[in-house]
């Protein structure tokens, strides 16, 4: 099961305990479903790739409206394919559609389409969360890309067709510190990439279990990234050490071959280091200091090696 499906299952099968929240949830789900027809008879359609979820939607509407005629789940057989996955469709028409839309505050008691998120929903913290949960269940997706701990590793997206609903929804989230973005070329799609925002959103819509799973995943990924960073760092250090040793050896060989009197013509402190390095090409600078019995500090060692390299350089031409 994908993380998005896990969140939807948790909400539909576990959350939504209060009646007020179930109606707010339904309101969000219908708004997020994207197709609402009022002109030629009232109706709406909710699409989903999980049969279990679409049946649960049908059940909630049936319970809510106490009607079953006009609520139809179209199975995978006749459903269209969406990116290779079967799509299940819930079609609600006639009396249950009108009833559900009125209960959800999308239609006024007089049967007129209302604007934005109903005030009752906006003003109640539990219901605003439930509305957002409904939107996510109907139109949301959440992807986890392998391996990355923070930016780029997570992607949350919701599609909200109606401008007023989208603005109301963004405002509700903003009041809870959750900022979703949208691109100019696709203003209907709201998205978030950062782990913090996505985790906050998942908690806000009431998927507590999924929230903890996300937290665990984040910690695991962070630990892996840190280990990787350490290992890259070690590799870098090794490469630099080999590089330095090679430079030293080139200089020492030049001195040995081209300087009058060879290595023995060097001052004693340099001679000891040069000889030790020549005999131990793969040793670290710390090991060279130990092997040469010089009790040099790191900077003392570096200083002498630089002098050897300078002498070597001067013998090049
Ligand atoms: Zn509520």
DSSP structure string for 129-185: HHHHHHHHHHH-EEEE-TT--STTSEEEEEE---HHHHHHHHHHHHHTT---EEETT
Which of the following CATH numbers is that of domain 3-206: 3.40.225.10, 3.10.28.10, 3.55.40.20, 3.30.1300.10? 3.10.28.10
Please compute the mean of the pLDDT values over residues 241-259 and round it to a whole number. Answer: 86
Structure confidence at residue 81 as a pLDDT band (50, 70, 90): low
Is pTM beyond 0.85? Reply is: no
Contacts of 82 (CB under 8 A, 6+ apart): 47, 49
Q: How far is the CA of 120 from the centre of ligand 1 (A)?
A: 9
Q: What is the pLDDT of residues 6-57, one digit of tens each?
A: 899 899 888 777 888 888 888 888 888 766 666 667 788 887 777 877 888 8
Q: How far is the CA of 124 from the centre of ligand 1 (A)?
A: 6
Structure confidence at residue 69 as a pLDDT band (50, 70, 90): confident
Q: How far is the CA of 276 from the centre of ligand 1 (A)?
A: 78
Q: How far is the CA of 172 from the centre of ligand 1 (A)?
A: 14
Instruction: Output 126 or 84, whichever has higher pLDDT.
Output: 126
Instruction: Output 161 or 310, whichever has higher pLDDT.
Output: 310
Q: How far is the CA of 12 from the centre of ligand 1 (A)?
A: 15
Task: Report the C-alpha gap between 309 and 17 in whole angstroms.
Answer: 77
Supply the angle between the helices 51-65 and 3-14 in degrees, to the nearest 10. 30
β partners of residue 92 = 44, 71
Half-sphere exposure of 64 (CA within 13 A, CB side): 30
Q: How far is the CA of 215 from the centre of ligand 1 (A)?
A: 26
- For residue 133, the model assigns a pLDDT of 93
Computed from CA positions of residues 210, 224, 158, 180, in that sequence, does the dihedral angle turn out positive or negative?
Answer: positive
Q: What backbone torsions phi and psi does residue 92 show, to the nearest 5 degrees?
A: -125, 125
Q: How far is the CA of 259 from the centre of ligand 1 (A)?
A: 89
Q: How far is the CA of 29 from the centre of ligand 1 (A)?
A: 15
Q: What is the mean pLDDT of the chain?
A: 84
88, 48 Cβ separation under 8 angstroms: yes
Q: Spell out the domain ranges in the chain.
A: 3-206, 240-314
Q: How far is the CA of 204 from the centre of ligand 1 (A)?
A: 13
């Amino acid at each position: 099961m994908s993380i998005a499906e896990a969140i939807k299952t948790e909400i539909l099968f576990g959350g939504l305990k209060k009646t007020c929240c179930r109606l707010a949830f339904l309101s969000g789900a219908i708004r997020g479903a994207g197709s609402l027809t009022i002109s030629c008879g009232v109706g709406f359609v909710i699409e989903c790739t999980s049969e279990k979820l679409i049946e649960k939607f049908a059940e909630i509407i049936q319970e809510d409206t106490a009607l079953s005629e006009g609520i139809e789940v179209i199975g995978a057989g006749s459903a269209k394919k969406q990116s290779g996955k079967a799509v299940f469709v819930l079609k609600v028409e006639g009396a249950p559609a009108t009833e559900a839309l009125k209960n959800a505050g999308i239609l006024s008691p007089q049967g007129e389409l209302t604007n934005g998120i109903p005030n009752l929903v906006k003003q109640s913290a539990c219901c605003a969360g439930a509305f957002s949960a409904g939107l996510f269940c109907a139109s949301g997706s959440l992807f986890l890309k392998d391996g990355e701990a923070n930016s780029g590793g997570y992607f949350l997206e919701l599609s909200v067709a109606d401008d007023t609903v989208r603005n109301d929804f963004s405002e509700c989230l903003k009041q809870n510190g959750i900022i979703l973005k949208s691109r100019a070329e696709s203003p209907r799609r709201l998205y978030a990439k950062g782990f913090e925002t996505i985790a906050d959103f998942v908690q806000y819509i009431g998927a507590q279990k999924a929230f903890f799973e996300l937290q665990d995943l984040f910690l695991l990924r962070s630990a892996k990234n840190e280990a990787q960073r350490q290992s890259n760092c070690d590799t870098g250090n090794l490469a630099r050490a080999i590089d330095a040793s090679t430079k030293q050896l080139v200089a020492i060989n030049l001195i040995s071959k081209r300087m009058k009197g060879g290595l023995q013509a060097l001052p004693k402190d340099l001679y000891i280091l040069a000889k030790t390095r020549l005999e131990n090409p793969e040793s670290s600078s710390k090991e060279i200091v130990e092997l040469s019995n010089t009790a040099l500090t790191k900077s003392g060692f570096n200083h002498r090696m630089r002098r050897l390299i300078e002498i070597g350089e001067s013998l090049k031409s």
